[in-house]
């Protein structure tokens, strides 16, 4: 007897969000498989952050529906938030606390206490090569090391899905490469990853990508499928073409 199919990590249907008369996201249909590394791309103002905030249960959709890690984002946003991790470029680390203190603090927020918290902090310090920096004040770290600490904090509760919103903006290339190695290690362990980025070399590290433009999903697939759809040589060329279209459509 074959094993039952795993429920997708994300399933959205006709998802729409308006702010007054402004339509931020319009009729989004999207499915992301469990364990997938999925890229969400588009020019500024395309609806990426609004989409992520709806999928994280932070902003209620105007209409449509979505399920994330088995929970309805409108009916059970708390269930969604318990099952996910969220990290952005401006993740709220405390600069006057050490690396280990930040990890203990966030692990506690996610409900880990006592021995379980201590064991998880030690595990994260080892997994993300932070052991030698455990006692260092976070405010003295470089951007790349801060992002690594932020990732550790966001995954302290073993989330089933991780949302990364421009996580490596302003980080040097070597640190970005190591960050992506860690992302794929998490995916291999079963964590689903959704990432937004303006770095096209990072987009090519995703199994599939989706392009948003002015709130609409206009392309979905592998790098090869999308470049073929647009008849362009690279994902960077696709991104430039979408920026040109957006700028031409503005009043």
Question: Which tens digit of pLDDT belongs to each residue from 81-90?
Answer: 999 999 987 7
Distance CA 151, CA 149 (A): 5
DSSP state of 118: H
Domains along the sequence of the chain with CATH: 10-249 (3.40.50.300)
Using the predicted structure, report yes or no on whether residue 5 has a pLDDT greater than 60: no
| Average confidence score pLDDT of the chain | 91
Burial class (CB in 10 A: 0-12, 13-18, 19+), 136: middle
Residues counted in the chain: 251
Predicted confidence band of residue 241 (pLDDT cuts 50, 70, 90): confident
Judged by average pLDDT, the poorest of 38-42, 60-64, 173-177, 230-234 is: 173-177
Using the predicted structure, report yes or no on whether residue 95 has a pLDDT greater than 90: yes
Using the predicted structure, report yes or no on whether residue 249 has a pLDDT greater than 70: no
Predicted confidence at residue 11, as pLDDT, reads: 97
Please work out, in degrees rounded to the nearest 5, the angle formed at the alpha carbon of residue 89 by the alpha carbons of 210 and 122: 105
Residues 152, 104 contacting (CB under 8 angstroms): no
* Side-chain half-sphere CA neighbours of 128 within 13 A: 30
Using the predicted structure, report yes or no on whether residue 101 has a pLDDT greater than 80: yes
Q: Where are the alpha helices (DSSP H) in the chain?
A: 48-55, 77-83, 99-109, 114-127, 143-154, 173-188, 200-203, 223-230, 235-249
Predicted confidence at residue 4, as pLDDT, reads: 45
Question: Which tens digit of pLDDT belongs to each residue from 18-38?
Answer: 999 999 999 999 999 999 999
């Amino acid at each position: 007897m074959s094993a039952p199919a795993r429920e997708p990590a994300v399933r959205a249907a006709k998802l729409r969000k308006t702010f007054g008369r402004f339509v931020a996201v319009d009729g989004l249909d999207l499915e992301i498989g469990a364990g997938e590394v999925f890229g969400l791309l588009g020019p500024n103002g395309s609806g990426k952050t609004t989409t992520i905030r709806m999928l994280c249960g932070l902003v209620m959709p105007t209409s449509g529906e979505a399920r994330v890690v088995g929970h309805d984002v409108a009916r059970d946003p708390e269930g969604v938030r318990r099952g996910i991790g969220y990290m952005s470029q401006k993740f709220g680390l405390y600069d006057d606390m050490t690396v280990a203190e930040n990890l203990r603090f966030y692990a506690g927020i996610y409900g880990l206490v006592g021995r379980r918290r201590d064991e998880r902090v030690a595990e994260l310090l080892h997994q993300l090569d932070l052991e030698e920096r455990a006692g260092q004040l976070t405010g003295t770290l470089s951007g790349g090391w801060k992002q690594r600490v932020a990732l550790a904090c966001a995954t302290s509760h073993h989330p089933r899905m991780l949302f990364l919103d421009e996580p490596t903006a302003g980080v040097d290339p070597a640190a970005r490469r190591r960050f992506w190695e860690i992302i794929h290690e998490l995916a291999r362990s079963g964590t689903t990853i959704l990432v937004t980025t303006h770095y096209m070399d990072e987009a090519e590290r995703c199994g599939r990508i989706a392009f948003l433009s002015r709130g609409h999903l206009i392309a979905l697939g592998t790098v090869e499928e999308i470049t073929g759809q647009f008849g362009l040589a690279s994902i960077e060329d696709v991104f430039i073409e979408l920026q040109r279209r957006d700028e031409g459509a503005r009043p």
